Amino acid sequence: MKVLCSSDSFAKYSDAPVKKLEQHGFELVRIDSTLSGEALFAELKGAVAMITAFTPTDEDFFKHAPDMKIICKHGVGVDNIDLLQASAHHVYITNVPNANKHAVADHSFGMLIDVARKISFANEKTKKGEWPKVFSTDVYGKTLGILGLGSIGQQVALRSKGFNMTIKAYDPFPNQEFAKQNHIELCTLEEVLKESDFVSLHLPLLESTKSIINEEKLSMMKETAFLVNCSRGGLVDEDALYQALSKGILAGAAFDVFDVEPNKESRLFTLDNFVATSHVAGYTDGAINELGIQAVDNIIELLVHNSKPKNIVNQM
The CATH number given to whatever domain includes residue 117 is: 3.40.50.720
Kindly give the parts of the chain with pLDDT less than 50.
none
pLDDT at 59: 96
| Nearest one of 231, 112, 227 to 160, comparing CA atoms | 112
Domain co-membership, 61 together with 33? yes
Model confidence, pTM: 0.86
Instruction: Report the C-alpha gap between 20 and 15 in whole angstroms.
Output: 9
Domain co-membership, 92 together with 142? no
Domain co-membership, 261 together with 125? yes
Domains in the chain, number: 2
Instruction: Report the C-alpha gap between 125 and 134 in whole angstroms.
Output: 10
Domain co-membership, 267 together with 146? yes
Instruction: Report the C-alpha gap between 121 and 132 in whole angstroms.
Output: 10
Domain co-membership, 28 together with 136? no
Residue 163 DSSP code:
T
Instruction: Report the C-alpha gap between 240 and 125 in whole angstroms.
Output: 27
pLDDT at 217: 98
pLDDT at 36: 94
Domain co-membership, 42 together with 90? yes
Tell me whether residue 38 is in a domain.
yes
pLDDT at 300: 98
Handedness of CA 283, 134, 271, 147 (dihedral sign): positive
Domain co-membership, 95 together with 121? no
Cβ burial 51-69 (10 Å sphere, 16+ → b, else e): bbbbbebeeebbebbeebb
Domain co-membership, 142 together with 42? no
| Nearest one of 102, 204, 97 to 156, comparing CA atoms | 102
pLDDT at 98: 87
Tell me the catalytic residues: 232, 261, 279
130 contacts: CB under 8 Å, gap ≥ 6: none
Handedness of CA 190, 274, 260, 262 (dihedral sign): negative
pLDDT at 298: 98
Domain co-membership, 188 together with 267? yes
Indicate the SS3 state at residue 286: helix
Tell me whether residue 86 is in a domain.
yes
Domain co-membership, 88 together with 73? yes
pLDDT at 269: 98
The CA dihedral of 35, 41, 45, 51, to the nearest 10 degrees, is 40
Instruction: Report the C-alpha gap between 272 and 254 in whole angstroms.
Output: 11
Domain co-membership, 295 together with 210? no
Contact 71, 81 (CB under 8 A): yes
Instruction: Report the C-alpha gap between 92 and 89 in whole angstroms.
Output: 9
Domain co-membership, 89 together with 114? no
pLDDT at 168: 98
223 contacts: CB under 8 Å, gap ≥ 6: 248, 249, 250, 251
Sequence length of the chain is 316
Instruction: Report the C-alpha gap between 282 and 276 in whole angstroms.
Output: 15
Tell me whether residue 14 is in a domain.
yes
Tell me whether residue 8 is in a domain.
yes
Tell me whether residue 314 is in a domain.
no
pLDDT at 242: 98
Q: Output the CA–CA distances (angstroms, integers) from residue 251 to 64, 120, 193, in the order listed.
A: 48, 15, 14
Tell me whether residue 313 is in a domain.
no
Tell me whether residue 308 is in a domain.
no
Residue 58 DSSP code:
-
264 contacts: CB under 8 Å, gap ≥ 6: none
Tell me whether residue 309 is in a domain.
no
Q: Which domain holds residue 91?
A: 2-99+284-303
Instruction: Report the C-alpha gap between 289 and 113 in whole angstroms.
Output: 27
